[in-house]
Structure 1
Amino acid sequence: MSLSRRSLLKGTAAGLIAAPFISLRPASAAEFDLKMANNMPLSHPTNLSLAKAVKAIEEQTGGRVKLTVFPQSQLGADTDVLGQLRSGGVDFFHLSPLILSTFVANASISGIGFAFKDYDSVWKAMDGDLGAYVRAEIEGKGLYAFDRIWDNGFRQISSSTKPIATPADLENFKIRVPVSPMWTSMFSAFGSATTSINFAETYTALQTGIVDGQENPLQILSDFKLWEVQKYVSMTNHMWDGFWLLANGRMWRGLPDDVKEIMANVFNAEALVQRETMATINTSLRGELEGNGMVFNDVTTADFQKKLVDAGFYAEWKGKFGDDAWAKLEAAVGHSL
C-alpha cells in the first residue's frame, strides 16, 4: 500500500469511529431523520466522502437533518435496497447505473463495453448531455438523481484459474456478473458461462467455486480482499462504472427548498472530491494487490471490442436504447461504436 493510499484511508479511520454512520444527534432533535445505504465498506472513498457530507449537511441545516448511513449492504443486497428506495423504506442509495437498469432501463447506457477511453471522456459525458439524459430517465421513474455521479472505476476481470489474455479465454469461463441485463449480454457475447449474483454473495461464490472469476474495479478487489479467492487480474478496462446517488422522489419533493439546496450542493461537491480520491488511490492499487499475491496482465482491448462487434453486441444495444440515446453516447465518447 502506498503512502498516499495509506494516509487517505488510515488517516481517516480515527474520524470514522466518531463519524455519523450511526447517529449524529438524538432522533428527537432532527426535523428530517433520513436513511442512506450503499454496498461499500467504511474504508471506501465513497463512505469517506459521505462522512464529511453528512456532517456538513447537519451543520448547514442547523441540525434539522439527521442522516444515518448504512454501508456494506447492511440493509440487504442491491436489488433489495433498490426496492426499499422505491417504497420509501430507504431515503438515499448509491447504486451502479447498470444495476439501476433493472428498473430504469436506459440508465445502463454509460456502461456499454469499451465506450470510454479515459476519465476525461467519462466526466465529459456524465457531467454533460449523456448524464442529463440518464437523470431525466431516472426522474421519469419516480426517483431523483443528484447532478454529479460518483466514481467506481474502470472494471477489470479477475480469475482463480487463468489469466484472461484474449477473447478466447472467456469462452465457457464461469464468471460472476451483477444482476444486470447488459453485463449478462456482454459476457454472453464472449461465450462465457455467466451467473448473476448480488455483490454481497460474490466472495462466497468465488470461494466455493460456483464461479471462477468476476469483474470489478481494483478498489473493490482491495476493499473486499478478493485476492484471498482470486489469483489473476487482467487489465481489460472493459467498462466504466459509477454510483448514482439516488433519492426517493416523494421524500425529496417533500423537503423544503432550502434543505434541498444545501443537500444538493454538499453531495455534488463531495462527489467531485470522491472522484479525485479515487484517481489518487487507483495509481497505487496494482502494486498493493501484487503485494498480496495477485498476478496482473495487460490486454489488447481492440481484440475484445472486435469480438463484441462480430457478436452483434453493439447493434443489439443500439436497438434497445434507441437512435437518440445512442447518438448522445457516441457524441459524448467521441467515437462510433
Structure 2
Amino acid sequence: MNLTKCLTGVALAGALGLAAGTAQATDIKFGIGIPEGDFPEYNALVRFKEYVEFKSNGDMTVRLFPNNQLGGEREMIEQVQQGSLELSFPADGAMAGYYPKMQVWSIPYLFESAPVAWKVINGEFAREMQADILEQTGIRALAFSQNGFRSFTNNVRPIVNPGDISGLKIRTMESPVFMELVNSLGATATPISGAEVLLSLRQGVVDGQENPPAVVYGGGLGEVQKYYTLNEHVFGLHVIIANNEWFEALEPGEQQIIVDAAQLMAWTENLQKTEGDWRFSEKLADELGMEIHVSTPDEKAAFKELTQAPVTKFIEENVGEEVVGELLSAVDAAKAELYGTASK
C-alpha cells in the first residue's frame, strides 16, 4: 500500500470523525409543571419540540420534562438561572419571585379581550420588559403567552354582579395581589396552596376559587363547584425562559430556530387557551352540570370599577408608578388600534 495514500486516508478519516463529532445533536432539556396530555400548555410544548427538531434536521433534540419532574416552577426558574436546565415555562406569579415587576400584569380587568392582550404581550412594552428581565436576572425571556383569564367559581349562588360575591370565602393563590382583589369585592380572600384547593372546596373550608376553565375542568374543581362566572378578572401569563449563557453559545442559526419555536409555542397556547374558554366550559356544563354565566362587558365594567383602582395602587407600591403607567398606555394604544378608539 502506498504510504502517502494510507496517511491521507487516515487523516481524512480523522477529519470525518471530528466532523461527525461536532455534528452531534444538541440535547436541550425543557421542564414544565403541566402534566402530559391534551392541555394547551403541553400541546404548545410539543410544538416547540417538533419545530426545533424538524428545522435543525435532528441536530437539536428537545427532551420534555412535564408534571414538575424537575421540581416546582420556582425550582425550575432557579435551574434555568444557574444553567442546569436550558428552558422552562413558569407562570407570572412564580416569575415575580425573581422579577417583581411581573406583578404589573395582574391589574384587574387590564385586558378586555384576548386579542388586546396578544397585541400588548407582543409589543414594545413586552419587549422592553424581556430586556429588563435579562438585565436584572440573567434569564432570557424568549416570549410571553396566555395562561388564561381567571374567573370565579363557588357553591353558594350565581355571581352576576359584584354584590353577589360579597361575604363569600374565596380561595386565592398565596399572593397579596390576588388577596387584595378578592377583598376589594367584599369577599374574604383565603390563600391556599394549589395542591390543597380541591380538598378545601370539598370540605367547605372555602366557598369558591378562581381559575381559567381548563384548570377548573382538568383539576377536578368542577366536580365540587356548582356555579361558574366567566368574569375574566385577571389575565394570566406564561413566560418561556432560557438560560442565557446556553442560548448565546448556540450558533446564530440555532438561536433563530429557538426564538422562532418559542413564538410558535406562545401562539399555540394563546389560541388553545382562548378556545379552551368555551371548550372546557361546555364540558363543565354538559358533563358535570355546572351553571355557567358569561359576564357581559357592562357586568365586567362593574367589577372593574370596584377592583382596579385599589389593586393598581397596591401594585404601584410594589413595582413603581412608572411601569404601571407604561403598561396602561400600551393597553390603551392596543385598544385604539383594534377598536378604533381607546375604551373607557
TM superposition score category, shorter chain reference: 0.7 to 0.9
1:206 counterpart residue number? 201
Q: Distance in 1 between matches of 2:83 and 2:247?
A: 10
- SS of alignment partner, residue 288 of structure 1: helix
Spell out the pairing of 1:157-196 with structure 2 (5 A cutoff). 157-196=152-191
Distance 1:281 1:301, change over 3 A: closer
- In structure 1, give the amino acid aligned to 2:239: W
- SS of alignment partner, residue 95 of structure 1: coil
- What is the root-mean-square deviation in Å for CA atoms of aligned residues? 2.7
Among candidates 142, 147, 150, match of residue 145 of structure 2: 150
Structure 2: runs of 5+ lacking an equivalent: 1-23, 333-341
Check the 8 A contact 1:101/1:180 in 2, yes or no: no
Q: Distance in 2 between matches of 1:118 and 1:133?
A: 22
- In structure 2, give the amino acid aligned to 1:132: R
Check the 8 A contact 1:36/1:67 in 2, yes or no: no
Among candidates 292, 295, 299, match of residue 296 of structure 1: 292
State whether structure 2 residue 103 is matched by structure 1 residue 108. yes
Among candidates 257, 272, 276, match of residue 277 of structure 1: 272
Q: Distance in 2 between matches of 1:44 and 1:116?
A: 23
Spell out the pairing of 1:100-139 with structure 2 (5 A cutoff). 100-139=95-134
The answer to which structure has the higher helix fraction is: 2
1:4 counterpart residue number? none
In the superposition, the TM-score normalised over structure 2's length comes to 0.79
Among candidates 310, 313, 317, match of residue 311 of structure 2: 313
Q: CA deviation at 1:200?
A: 4.0
- SS of alignment partner, residue 316 of structure 1: helix
**Stretch moving more, 225-234 or 207-216:** 207-216
Spell out the pairing of 1:216-295 with structure 2 (5 A cutoff). 216-291=211-286, 292-295=288-291
Q: Distance in 2 between matches of 1:328 and 1:145?
A: 19
Q: Distance in 1 between matches of 2:33 and 2:204?
A: 26
- SS of alignment partner, residue 117 of structure 1: coil
Check the 8 A contact 1:99/1:179 in 2, yes or no: no
Structure 1: runs of 5+ lacking an equivalent: 1-28
Q: CA deviation at 1:333?
A: 1.8
- In structure 2, give the amino acid aligned to 1:250: E
Q: CA deviation at 1:331?
A: 1.5
Q: Which has the larger radius of gyration?
A: 2
Check the 8 A contact 2:108/2:308 in 1, yes or no: no
- In the alignment of these two chains, the number of paired residues is 308
- SS of alignment partner, residue 146 of structure 1: strand
Among candidates 30, 49, 71, match of residue 54 of structure 1: 49
Deviations 1:286-310 (A, max 9, x none): 2221112111234422222222257
Distance 1:91 1:177, change over 3 A: farther
Distance 1:254 1:179, change over 3 A: farther
Deviations 1:88-143 (A, max 9, x none): 34332212223311221111212210111112211121111221232123212121
Check the 8 A contact 1:77/1:200 in 2, yes or no: no
**Stretch moving more, 131-140 or 160-169:** 160-169
- In structure 2, give the amino acid aligned to 1:297: H
Q: CA deviation at 1:37?
A: 1.6
2:31 counterpart residue number? 36
- SS of alignment partner, residue 286 of structure 1: helix
Deviations 1:264-294 (A, max 9, x none): 1122123223323333343333222111211
**Stretch moving more, 102-111 or 36-45:** 36-45
- SS of alignment partner, residue 215 of structure 1: strand
